[in-house]
Structure 1
Amino acid sequence: MPLEIITIPCRTDNYAFLVHNSDSGETALVDAPEFEPIKDVLDQNEWQLTDLLITHHHFDHIDAVAQLRDSYAPRVIGAKADAARLPDLDVQVADGDTLIVCGAECHVMDVPGHTVGHIAFHMPSTKAVFTADSLMALGCGRLFEGTPDQMWNSLCKIRALPADTLVYSGHEYTASNAKFALTIEPENNDLISRFRQIEIARKNNTPTVPSRLSDECLTNPFLRADLADVKSAIHMDGKSDEEVFAEIRKRKDNF
């Protein structure tokens, strides 16, 4: 039976995600931006939180860990390499590790760039990857700690997952990301169509997360920095993929 995944809006624009196995009763949370919205969904469904997976150390992804631990005593999982900046971890993981979460395999991916200790969690049987602030819907996280080369390599790693994978990213930034993406590829018909869909979704206060990886590959400029058409569009013919990605990231920072 496929696992159920619920997207929970938190804070101003954050998302947390609950993963539930109805057979075993296990429930996992990916990131903990705010206690009350998460508690409300758990209580409404009468679910017990068994695991809490952390993608990176920023406060808007770990702020509720202590309260959730006090209330539900979940197993807290995070990056070994960044353990000093994370809440106390019950399980420390590294790139390539495989966990069993809610009865399913969960693969750990090292995806530095936004922070140097950022990880993602891929659950292939559920066709889901939890990317937080690495790959985002029509964007990628700002490079607070890592380098453009690191982020580009991280995005390529995620891009290599199956095309029908759903990308569960950490923020509702999609509308502004779409507006920026159109400055890079104003004639991308897939992007134009997606932009219209996003406008409708946001007018109805509908989350744009998760997104399908295949759609990201067609429309997200940060995943398309190696394409000749994109390089030409920003007058960087002949430049390396990493240089083009860095330029797109620079433009987004100033957008």
Structure 2
Amino acid sequence: MIKQKGFTIVEMLITLTILMLVLALSYQALSVFLNAASKNRSDFSKAQSTSLVRVKLRSSVRGMLDYYVLNSQGHMRPYFFQNDSVIQYISVTPLIFSTEPEVLVTLQVKESDFGNGKQLKILECKLKDRMPYEQNEVHFPINDNCEVLTDKIYAENIELNVERINGSENFLSLPGFTAVEDALTFHLLPKSISIKLYDSKIEQATEWRFQTKIENKRKYFAMDGFDGNA
């Protein structure tokens, strides 16, 4: 008669221990893979969303409208507001309200809600509901007829920059320009708008530059000694 030999308790314990180690390592590897895949999907989704915002914003800036209002000096100027943290303009290319002929667009840099730097907030309002008649201060969207295109663009620091005609910050310094003739001679809207996003992990800042379509030159009549090109 052949005697059948089974596994001892020690052998079974060793086998179970090895199996548990293999399962633990496999689970850890799978967890790392899933986390990496999830991060890649998240990064791709964020990049895709950011690219869409850039495309829409480019169209919006190119559709900037020379909508005239009174400024603080009582002169007629195209509506365009700018300070260190806000740019606001009127566009005929809506980002959100596709059926509206004109909209009020606001680019605002504010402290991040999560306390990790800055965030860029892009809002749009129906111009007929937020009609600015004066340009003394920014017209902040405060009613239900405004929508946020995005507030999910973050960076350690974000700068809003405006390129003026000949780089001049002072309209009155332009050749052939006087306070009396301002409404009749120049559009005076910016040549371009740029947004710079700074991150210490990246040596060079990411810059978005959007060109306007308005031609900054004389509109109605020639002035002595001036060819109309600023």
State TM-score, norm by structure 1: 0.24
Richer in helix (by share):
1
Richer in strand (by share):
2
State TM-score, norm by structure 2: 0.26
Higher relative contact order (CA 8 A, sep 6+): 2
